[in-house]
């Protein structure tokens, strides 16, 4: 686990899935190593989680789970950026206790970031502020300077694709075959779902009031908030907007219509509010997947950088993947345009007003958005983890062989 909240929740989602499958789930941290920022929660921990400061072997094999294992738990190396990950000592302890051939490290890589190297170069330039009209020539210069090759080598090195007992899971909504060809050690899967109850169980009782919920973690969320509130100003019955933010906002809004909460919220209270919302405004990957899993309308905003003509989306690969799947699944084009524009911070007031009254395809928001181009079990990252744990336990050894078979199977 690192310090990012999404990373923590994703690891816990894996733990909950493995716990439900009957596996013993342990949070192991050396006694002289404090937990990284935010790891202590409050979180929805897996059932029967054991916290340990020393390893207690009760099985012949072990499976560790970490975000981007090569960065968060991988060993150090010589050269620039060669420092070991903050969980390297714990990962090494597990491997020494169980043996390399009886240990698999599951590495949860960033959701929907499955770009071939040439597209990664374009995205790096765009995110860095290069104007769109200049990106083609800048990308050509980057290739001529062998930056593409430098990126490929660094990606392979720091993700630790050379480790045969590390299973690199790249969850996404649609498999990218070019990415698989460039990085054959990467295993693309469908999402690691949060495991929340479906929305149809929640809609049997009519809500006493209309409420939208916004997980507003990007700093730029506050900049578009007046437009969001303006889009809801004339809704009847009125819509109450509940904003959960990691920081206090300086902007003020009518208290009877808008509530900004920057305090600590118990997971159960947040989950109830999130599930009962008429519409959810989400960010990153975890709340996006929660919204997709629950069903019902949502908007996505992961923040923007810059201003004026240089204004650009921050890390847009999640919404890009969602829109691509939506087009193939036949989602109404006006609805896709609204989702895209809101993610860019454009037409915010208009999009919010249309969503509030169900105009332009909002009344037909898809109930289910399923990943594309995956065969079971690779359509579900949680199922892959279950299969890996079961196969390693059945064999009692052969971690590298289990990982190799999963890698080969994912290419089909």
- Is residue 342 in some structural domain? yes
Number of domains in the chain: 2
How far apart are the C-alpha atoms of 77 and 89, rounded to whole Å? Answer: 14
208 and 167, same structural domain? no
pLDDT attached to residue 204: 44
211 and 81, same structural domain? no
How far apart are the C-alpha atoms of 177 and 235, rounded to whole Å? Answer: 45
How far apart are the C-alpha atoms of 110 and 123, rounded to whole Å? Answer: 15
180 and 150, same structural domain? yes
- Is residue 283 in some structural domain? yes
pLDDT in tens, 349-376: 999 999 999 998 999 999 889 999 999 9
DSSP 34-93: PPPTTTT-S--PPTTPEEESS----SS-EEEEEETHHHHTPPP-SSTT-PPPTTHHHHHH
162 and 19, same structural domain? yes
264 and 311, same structural domain? yes
pLDDT attached to residue 208: 65
Domain of 399 in residue numbering reads as 5-114+145-191+376-409
Residues in CB range of 28: below 8 A, 6 or more apart: 52, 53, 55, 90, 93, 94
Which CATH number belongs to the domain containing residue 221 in this structure? 3.40.50
392 and 358, same structural domain? no
The pair of structure tokens assigned to 391 is 């196969």
- Is residue 132 in some structural domain? no
How far apart are the C-alpha atoms of 216 and 220, rounded to whole Å? Answer: 9
355 and 262, same structural domain? yes
394 and 282, same structural domain? no
SS3 16: helix
The residue ranges of DSSP E strands in 248-319, in sequence order, are 258-261, 279-282, 298-300, 304-305, 312-313
229 and 357, same structural domain? yes
Task: Judge if the upstream peptide bond of residue 229 is cis by omega within 30 degrees of 0.
Answer: no
How far apart are the C-alpha atoms of 412 and 407, rounded to whole Å? Answer: 10
Specify the pTM: 0.94
109 and 164, same structural domain? yes
> What is the chain's pLDDT, residue by residue, as a tens digit (412 residues)?
444 689 999 999 999 999 999 999 999 999 999 988 788 888 999 999 999 999 999 999 999 999 999 999 999 998 889 999 999 999 999 999 999 999 999 999 999 999 999 999 999 999 999 999 999 999 999 999 999 999 999 999 999 999 999 999 999 999 999 999 999 999 999 999 998 655 455 454 455 689 999 999 999 999 999 999 999 999 999 999 999 999 999 989 999 999 999 998 899 999 999 999 999 999 999 999 999 999 999 999 999 998 887 889 999 999 999 999 999 999 999 999 999 999 999 999 999 999 999 998 999 999 889 999 999 999 999 999 999 999 999 999 999 999 999 999 998 7
DSSP code, position 207 = P
- Is residue 121 in some structural domain? no
pLDDT attached to residue 196: 67
Widest Cα–Cα separation across the chain: 64
Nearest to 203 by CA among 294, 299, 298, 335: 294
List own/partner pairs for 349-354 with CB under 8 A and 24 or more apart: 349/227, 349/228, 349/230, 349/231, 350/231, 351/231, 351/299, 352/227, 352/228, 352/230, 352/231, 352/232, 352/299, 353/231, 353/232, 353/234, 353/235
293 and 277, same structural domain? yes
Q: What region does 153 belong to: left with phi over 0, alpha with psi -120 to 50, or beta?
A: alpha
pLDDT attached to residue 195: 86
How far apart are the C-alpha atoms of 95 and 85, rounded to whole Å? Answer: 15
pLDDT attached to residue 178: 96
- Is residue 136 in some structural domain? no
The pair of structure tokens assigned to 293 is 């899993």
CB-facing half-sphere around the CA of 304: CA atoms within 13 A: 20
- Is residue 323 in some structural domain? yes
> Terminus-to-terminus CA distance in the chain, angstroms?
31
Whether residue 241 contacts residue 259, with contact meaning beta carbons closer than 8 Å, is answered with yes
Whether residue 372 contacts residue 174, with contact meaning beta carbons closer than 8 Å, is answered with yes
- Is residue 122 in some structural domain? no
CA distances from 172 to 106, 187, 326, 381, 403 (A): 16, 10, 14, 9, 19
- Is residue 154 in some structural domain? yes
207 and 355, same structural domain? yes
Burial of 109 (0-12, 13-18, 19+ CB in 10 A): buried
How far apart are the C-alpha atoms of 115 and 191, rounded to whole Å? Answer: 16
């Amino acid at each position: 686990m690192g310090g990012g909240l999404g990373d923590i929740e994703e690891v816990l989602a894996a733990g909950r899935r493995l716990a439900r499958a009957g596996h013993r789930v342990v949070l192991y941290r050396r006694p002289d190593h404090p937990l990284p920022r935010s790891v202590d929660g409050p979180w929805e921990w897996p059932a029967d989680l054991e916290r340990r400061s020393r390893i207690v072997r009760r099985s012949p094999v072990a499976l560790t789970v970490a975000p981007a294992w090569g960065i968060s738990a991988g060993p150090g190396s010589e050269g620039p950026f060669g420092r070991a990950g903050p969980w390297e000592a714990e990962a090494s302890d597990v491997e020494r206790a169980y043996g390399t051939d009886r240990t698999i490290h599951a590495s949860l890589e960033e959701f929907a970031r499955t770009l071939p190297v040439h597209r990664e170069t374009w995205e790096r330039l765009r995110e860095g502020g290069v104007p769109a009209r200049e990106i083609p020539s800048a990308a050509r210069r980057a290739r001529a300077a062998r930056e593409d090759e430098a990126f490929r080598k660094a990606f392979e090195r720091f993700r630790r694709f050379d480790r045969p007992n590390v299973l690199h899971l790249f969850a996404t909504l649609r498999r990218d075959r070019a990415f698989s060809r460039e990085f054959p050690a990467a295993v693309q899967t469908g999402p690691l779902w949060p495991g929340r109850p479906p929305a149809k169980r929640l809609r049997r009782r009519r809500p006493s009031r209309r409420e939208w919920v916004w997980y507003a973690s990007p700093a730029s969320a506050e900049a578009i908030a007046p437009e969001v509130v303006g889009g809801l100003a004339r809704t009847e019955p009125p819509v109450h907007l509940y904003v959960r933010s990691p920081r206090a906002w300086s902007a003020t809004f009518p208290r009877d219509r808008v509530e900004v909460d920057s305090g600590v919220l118990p997971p159960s209270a947040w989950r109830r509010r999130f599930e009962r919302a008429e519409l959810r405004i989400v960010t990153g990957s975890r709340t996006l997947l929660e919204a997709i899993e629950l069903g019902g309308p949502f908007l996505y905003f992961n923040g923007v950088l810059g201003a004026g003509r240089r204004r650009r989306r921050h890390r847009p690969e999640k919404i890009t993947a969602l829109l691509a799947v939506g087009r193939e699944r036949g989602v109404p084009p006006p609805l896709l345009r609204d989702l895209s524009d809101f993610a860019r911070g454009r037409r915010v007031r208009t999009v919010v007003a249309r969503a509030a009254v169900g105009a332009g395809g909002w009344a037909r928001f898809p109930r289910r958005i399923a990943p594309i181009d995956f065969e079971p079990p690779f359509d579900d990252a949680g199922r892959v983890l279950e299969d890996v744990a079961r196969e390693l336990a059945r064999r009692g050894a052969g971690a590298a062989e289990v990982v190799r078979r999963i890698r080969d199977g994912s290419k089909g």
